[in-house]
Amino acid sequence: MSGLGAGLAADVAADVAADVAAVVTIARKDLLQEVRSRAVTVATLFFSAVTLVMMAFAMGQDAELLRRSAPGVLWVALAFAGVITAAQSYQSDLEEGAFDQLLLYPVPRASVFLGKLLANWLFLLALGLLMTPVTLVLYGAPAGPSAWLLPVTLMLGTLGFAVVATFYAALTANLQAREALLPVLMFPVVVPVLLGAVRSSEALIGLQNTVLAGGWLQLLAAFDLVYFVACTAVFHLVVEE
Amino acid sequence: MRAVASVGVRAGVRADLRAGASEAARSPHALDRETCGGATSASATTASATSASATTAPATDRQRRGATDAALAVRLDGIAKRFGRELVLRDLRLEMAAGKIAVLKGSNGAGKTTLLRVLATRLRPTRGRGWVFGYELQRQGDEVRRRIGLVSALGGNYPVLTARENLRLAATLSGLENADLDGALAGVGLTDVADTLVRTYSSGMKKRLGLARLLLLDPPLWLMDEPYAALDENGKALLDDVLAAARGRDRTVVMASHELERSARFADAVLELAGGSLRRSGP
């Protein structure tokens, strides 16, 4: 019996390893495509920069207002960049039927979702890590002693956002009005994540209150977990027409 | 019914099957036995010849059905697909033994691509059930996908990857660690452009790359959507060779094509989709 159990465990381990390898392969493919085409990189960098600068100009020279609005502006820019990222991640696949082909390989549909999610998340996280110091400087917001938690906020915030965006982008990928429908459908769902991310960033940047930030981070992690499990579980229903 | 049994491909709607059929042939088991007779193996032929004894065999219904489903490459039972108000496929019934080649013909919009996408588990049927090598399309999709390969009309390639990268992706996701990428590329004449981005390819080259992927993965069931389209004469001759090789290696092929004269040369059956229904029209 123990031999049978060990054999079963080895089979399960092999299956999990194959699924993880598939996830990494799909994510690497998506990132390689982006490195070559730079379509999303150029669009999101330009859009984020314009958002940060325009909002800073709009708020004038009120230093306190600028400092307090920094977390919100940062996440608004990241959220809209995230919509572009998720929509494009499917768009390039759909052009020549490559997404159909991807779904025909003998890998679980969840692996396809997680691969695309991993690529979108890494891209958004990199964008967030680039934009955060720029925002802090542009808006004159000081990074206090608890600033080390900012990357954690970025990781959890962009993960939750990427989960919802990747899922809804798949849902709308084949629709004619996908550009309009994607934000309309996903933003009501992703509000808790954005709220948690903004509040946590605010606690770290403006209030410099680590305890308050920790509370929001726990809430953010909980939302991430719920969305991650739910979207991964039902992704197969979304891609089967 | 006679010709169907001899090639192992049978298609039609319920009414077609009943026409001229004996009472025994109307039962699912009788249909299965006859289809088994169409399979290429000698044992399957024997099974057909001894249909009377099969009726009294001690095997349970489930055992017989299981054995038959495994012997059949494709089995569709009342498949229907509706898009909005339009019923594109209606009550399709198809039984196809392993190792056979079937050509789907029909006018534009007849539902050929829809049928291929149902078989490829990309479309959920609105009604009915289907099996590929005994695995149910709707419930055992992962197992079905291990056994199919699709050459789509669009090519199915990533434009900003090279041909070699496209094939490597396919091999990795199919669990083929040491796949012969160079051999597959050479087989379709793409060696010289193996490391060029696919977005610079012509339509015919993209179609060749789709063929290379199919040859690389070499699944038991090949689904081909207009494989001759966009190919030049050399490409078409290449595809002829591929289909001839498929027959030699007992691969099952379901191919939608408007090039009937060419594709019918390899076909065990030509199936016509019209008005959402499937019927056999040759050879």
For testing contact with chain A, the best of B82, B121, B147, B160 (most A CBs within 10 A): B160
CATH number for the domain spanning B107: value is: 3.40.50.300
Of A95, A97, A107, which has the smallest distance from its Cβ to B173's Cβ?
Answer: A107
User: Would residue B206 count as lying in a domain?
Assistant: no
| Contact at CB, B173 and A22, closer than 8 angstroms | yes
User: Would residue B200 count as lying in a domain?
Assistant: no
Of B145, B152, B174, which has the smallest distance from its Cβ to A97's Cβ?
Answer: B152
Question: How far, in whole angstroms, is CA A79 from its chain's centroid?
Answer: 9
3-state secondary structure of B223: strand
Model pTM score: 0.82
Give B201-224 pLDDT, tens digit per residue.
Answer: 999 999 999 999 999 999 999 999
**In this structure, what DSSP letter does residue B197 have?**
B
Q: Is A64 on the interface with B (CB under 8 A)?
A: no
A18: distance to nearest CA of chain B, Å? 8
Give A140-155 pLDDT, tens digit per residue.
Answer: 888 777 888 899 999 9
| Contact at CB, B124 and A106, closer than 8 angstroms | no
Look up the domain containing B9 and give its range.
2-147+219-282
| Contact at CB, A240 and B150, closer than 8 angstroms | no
User: Would residue B153 count as lying in a domain?
Assistant: no
| Contact at CB, A29 and B161, closer than 8 angstroms | yes
User: Would residue B191 count as lying in a domain?
Assistant: no
Q: Is A103 on the interface with B (CB under 8 A)?
A: yes
**Token output for B181:** 């990428």
Considering only CB atoms, which chain B residues are within 8 Å of A106? 142, 145-146, 173-175
Mean pLDDT, range A95-108, rounded to an integer: 90
Which pLDDT does position B53 carry in this prediction? Answer: 30
Give A10-65 pLDDT, tens digit per residue.
Answer: 888 888 888 999 999 999 999 999 999 898 999 999 999 999 999 998 888 888 89
Q: Is A18 on the interface with B (CB under 8 A)?
A: yes
Residues in chain B: 283
| Contact at CB, B150 and A107, closer than 8 angstroms | no
User: Would residue B72 count as lying in a domain?
Assistant: yes
Q: Is A108 on the interface with B (CB under 8 A)?
A: yes
Considering only CB atoms, which chain A residues are within 8 Å of B154? 96-97, 100
User: Would residue B196 count as lying in a domain?
Assistant: no
- HEC states along chain A? CHHHHHHHHHHHHHHHHHHHHHHHHHHHHHHHHHHHHCHHHHHHHHHHHHHHHHHHHHHCCCHHHHHHHHHHHHHHHHHHHHHHHHHHHHHHHHCCCHHHHHCCCCCCHHHHHHHHHHHHHHHHHHHHHHHHHHHHHHCCCCCCHHHHHHHHHHHHHHHHHHHHHHHHHHHHCCCCCHHHHHHHHHHHHHHHHHHHHHHHHHHHHCCCCHHHHHHHHHHHHHHHHHHHHHHHHHHHHHHCC
User: Would residue B44 count as lying in a domain?
Assistant: yes
Total number of domains constituting chain B: 1
User: Would residue B120 count as lying in a domain?
Assistant: yes
Give A144-201 pLDDT, tens digit per residue.
Answer: 778 888 999 999 999 999 999 999 999 988 787 877 889 899 999 999 999 999 999 9
